[in-house]
Structure 1
């Protein structure tokens, strides 16, 4: 092998080694995104960032389904029904549960996260959460801008976690 061929092979090998383990998983998987309808100006930032990241990692846009529910509390039931269809390899829930000053947000966020965990354990379908409960949220320009930006970051992170979880589960399945 000549020096040029060796350089090309080394370049390809190093780029392959740097590629995320989930690239092939992205091509062949289907993901459902469930969004609460409250604070959609913030919540949809996570949804849109997650979709963008999934597509950038190789998932066809047609493999991503969107579902809206009235609020965060309804996400676990929708996740369960979607998981039971057998059509999705993973499910992502997105919501903003705000502190309205009456501590309701604490039991809502706890119930949602517990429900999502139960769904994934009962159905064997990964269910990931971008359901966030900020300690302090006020609907003024500074907070809205901060949380819109923060939800973009969380959307990317939840998409990457989703792909990683599916890849690891595929790895475990191949051991059986």
Structure 2
């Protein structure tokens, strides 16, 4: 008989002893922009009391490689959450929409299969052009998204911890 997942099974990584550990994966394409999300997430974690030493950074070539790495990191038992950061742009072909769907679907599958929350700052702007105005806009936008993804991560970890305590 299939039973619904309990809060304790959803937060198996939270049962590990020790401090909260976060894995943050960044895609290498448009690293100057994507790096803004990574750096602002790290800064927000520190503002919220999570030391930089508790966040481990990983880099992959592009967004398409993120879900497999997220899965390996989630299954490792070393991390309470995984964050993915990437910029998938429309290079004039339809491929970017398939890549984005594959990445987001893969990330959702990882968190549902492992019980480790996975967060996405994988963005696909409708229009992105390699000129200063767009680069500056997305540079700033990724700063905002990095802060937001760190806040969402911490709030979700707190919520899952509260749900797990209800089971006891």
- TM above 0.5, yes or no, is yes
1:126 paired residue number: 117
In structure 2, runs of 5+ residues without a counterpart are 1-17
Q: Distance in 2 between matches of 1:99 and 1:57?
A: 35
Higher relative contact order (CA 8 A, sep 6+): 2
- TM-score by structure 1 length? 0.84
Cα offset for 1:28? 3.0
In structure 1, runs of 5+ residues without a counterpart are 1-26
Q: Distance in 2 between matches of 1:61 and 1:47?
A: 12
After the TM superposition, list the runs of 4 or more consecutive aligned residues in structure 1 that deviate by more than 6 angstroms. Answer: none
- TM-score by structure 2 length? 0.88
What is the number of equivalent residue pairs in this alignment? Answer: 150
C-alpha RMSD over aligned residues: 0.9
Matched, 1:113 2:80: no
Q: Which has the higher helix share?
A: 1
- SS of 1:28's equivalent in the other structure is coil
1:21 paired residue number: none
Q: Which of residues 142, 154, 168 in structure 2 aligns to 1:163?
A: 154
1:82 paired residue number: 73
1:45 paired residue number: 36
Residue by residue over 1:97-142, the C-alpha shift from the partner in whole angstroms, topping out at 9 and shown as x without a partner, is: 0001111000000000000000000000000000000000001000
Residue by residue over 1:31-74, the C-alpha shift from the partner in whole angstroms, topping out at 9 and shown as x without a partner, is: 01000000001000000000000111001111000000010000
Contact kept in structure 2, 1:76 and 1:115, CA below 8 Å: yes
Q: Distance in 2 between matches of 1:79 and 1:28?
A: 20
2:7 paired residue number: none
